[in-house]
């Protein structure tokens, strides 16, 4: 069994991706994001790292499962046809593949994530 240590939020072990992820499309404001992929499995089906987003809204459709822990910020997620759900620093949650809606960052979000590609 291998154990991997990441960098820390204040000193990630890799350079960030500073462009919006392919399936994220800005719809309100001028949000920006940074993604630090600290680990990717050899088959590319598991990724983990850090993510940061500034206020604004994106239309997003998840084709992956994502386990998330917010350590800063606030966001509201609105899955089409469902009630909005808000998350704040300290919250841990899972977004399953199939989420299709709006991610609204209300206060700059900083999170750790683990993604499983289906």
Secondary structure string (H, E, C) spanning 61-106: ECCEEEEEEEEEEEEEEEECCCCCEEEECCCEEEECCCCEEEEEEE
Quick: pLDDT tens for 64-102: 999 999 999 999 999 999 999 999 999 999 999 999 999
Give the separation between CA 114 and CA 76, rounded to whole angstroms. Answer: 19
Q: Which domain holds residue 49?
A: 26-117
Over residues 16-20, mean pLDDT: 95
Give the separation between CA 72 and CA 111, rounded to whole angstroms. Answer: 7
pLDDT on residue 1:
54
pLDDT on residue 43:
96
Tell me, yes or no, whether 96 lies in a domain. Answer: yes
Tell me, yes or no, whether 91 lies in a domain. Answer: yes
Going by DSSP bridges, is the β-strand pair 85-88/64-79 parallel, antiparallel, or unpaired?
Answer: antiparallel
- When divided into structural domains, the chain yields a total of 1
- Confidence grade of residue 6 (pLDDT, cut at 50, 70, 90): confident
Tell me, yes or no, whether 32 lies in a domain. Answer: yes
Flag whether pLDDT at 8 surpasses 80.
no
Quick: pLDDT tens for 28-52: 999 999 999 999 999 999 999 999 9
Over residues 51-65, mean pLDDT: 97
Could you give the 3-state DSSP secondary structure of residue 3? coil
Domain of residue 67, CATH code: 2.60.120.10
6 with 39: CB under 8 angstroms? yes
């Amino acid at each position: 069994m291998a154990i991997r240590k990441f960098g820390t939020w204040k000193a990630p072990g890799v350079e960030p991706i500073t462009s919006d992820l392919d399936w994220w499309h800005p719809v309100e404001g001028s949000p920006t994001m940074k993604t630090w992929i600290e680990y990717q499995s050899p088959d590319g089906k598991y990724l983990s790292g850090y993510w940061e987003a500034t206020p604004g809204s994106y239309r997003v459709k998840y084709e992956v499962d994502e386990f998330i822990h917010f350590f800063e910020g606030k966001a509201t997620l609105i899955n089409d046809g469902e009630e909005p759900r808000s998350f704040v620093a300290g919250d841990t949650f899972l977004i399953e593949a199939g989420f299709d809606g709006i991610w609204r960052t209300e206060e700059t979000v900083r999170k750790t994530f683990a993604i499983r590609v289906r």
